[in-house]
Amino acid sequence: MAEKTVVRQVTIAGRPFVLRSDEVVRALREIDPEPITRHFVVVGTRRFPPKQVVGEVTGLDRADFTTHQARRTLIRLGFSAGRRAAATSNPRSTVVPGPGMVADPLALRLRDFIGKWVAIKDDDVIHASDSPYELVGWLGRHGQKADSMLRVPDDELSATGLAPL
Amino acid sequence: MRFSFRELPDPASDMVRARPIVDVVVEGLEIAPQACLLDSGATAVRLGSHVAELCGVDLSEAPEKRLAVGGGLVRARMAEVSLLVNDGSESYAWTTPVWFCDPWVPSFGLLGLTGFFDHFVVTIASYEEWIELTPVG
């Protein structure tokens, strides 16, 4: 998440815009993130396709700009960007990071989602929700299938799974 | 079938903790396999009651009991469901009683003796952080 407000004048699809990072965060607050195909940006604790974010904050048709333009614009506003790991035979593999990219191991990235329900696919968090019902609803709405679903432990009891005898 | 341990953040420190966790597909909820901890201290397979609701299992007439979990009481209701594990090259499916619990505090399901350990020969190589499951019979 952008920690302090960053303001940038940008030109996208031939049109000038003044974008503020805090307005991007506010605009996306109630928006359901779409599935990530390859690139993403982190807004708050959630990941969005860059084109979805720029489309939402500018009102432009997504066909009018590229993922690369959207990603570059959002990085300049202070947001972290990343790329989903390609599906490989080794689920622990990660992509070598480029500038401004996130490349932490999954377990460290899960720290951003403590207490949340997460859907994991190809060693990446594809969606996080406050409830398992919302999470499964999102998967169904977007035609997604997760590899795994769990709630990221927020205390010792949830982490140890103390079992009844 | 072989699985690597799953690393999860440790809520009490900056470290991560590797655990013997496998993903179990519950029939009716194929789009969201449930992360489950292998727990030889549990007598049965236990999942949160939300899983039953999400996969369409009706628990209204189900056998019920109260269990003590982490100092609190939970309501546990039992239903027979089909489960499946898959390591990417092999899979194994079986039908077993599962106790669906409410409330459910753990972050994952628990795979206990009846319903899981009695279906597999289980090797847990904790030092090397892998699990091997060989179906019985």
A132: which 2 tokens? 């398992």
Q: Which residue of B has its CA nearest to A145?
A: B31
pLDDT digit string (tens) for chain B, length 137 residues: 999 999 888 887 778 888 999 999 999 999 999 999 999 988 899 999 999 999 999 999 999 999 876 567 889 999 999 999 999 899 999 999 999 999 988 889 999 999 999 999 999 998 889 999 999 97
The reply to whether B40 touches chain A by the CB within 8 Å rule is: no
Task: Give the pLDDT of residue A84.
Answer: 72
Interface contact flag, B16 A119, Cβ < 8 Å: no
Q: Which residue of B has its CA nearest to A146?
A: B32
Greater model confidence, A156 or A103: A156
- Inter-CA distances, B16 with A19, A109, A110, B5, B48, Å: 37, 11, 10, 12, 24
Task: Give the pLDDT of residue A102.
Answer: 43
Number of neighbours of residue B25 by Cβ within 10 angstroms: 19
Task: Give the pLDDT of residue B10.
Answer: 83
Of the candidates A119, A146, A152, the beta carbon closest to that of B107 is on A152
pTM: 0.76
pLDDT tens digits, one per residue of B82-120: 999 999 899 999 999 999 999 988 889 999 999 999 999
**Regarding beta strands A39-43 and A15-20, do their DSSP bridges make them parallel or antiparallel, or are they unpaired?**
unpaired
Task: Give the pLDDT of residue B120.
Answer: 95
Interface contact flag, A162 B10, Cβ < 8 Å: no
The reply to whether A60 touches chain B by the CB within 8 Å rule is: no
Give the ipTM. 0.91
- The whole-angstrom distance between B136's CA and the closest CA on chain A is 24
Residues written for chain A? 165
Residues 6+ apart with CB under 8 A from A144: A35, A119, A121, A126, A127, A138, B31
Interface contact flag, A149 B34, Cβ < 8 Å: yes
* φ/ψ of residue A131, rounded to 5: -140, 155
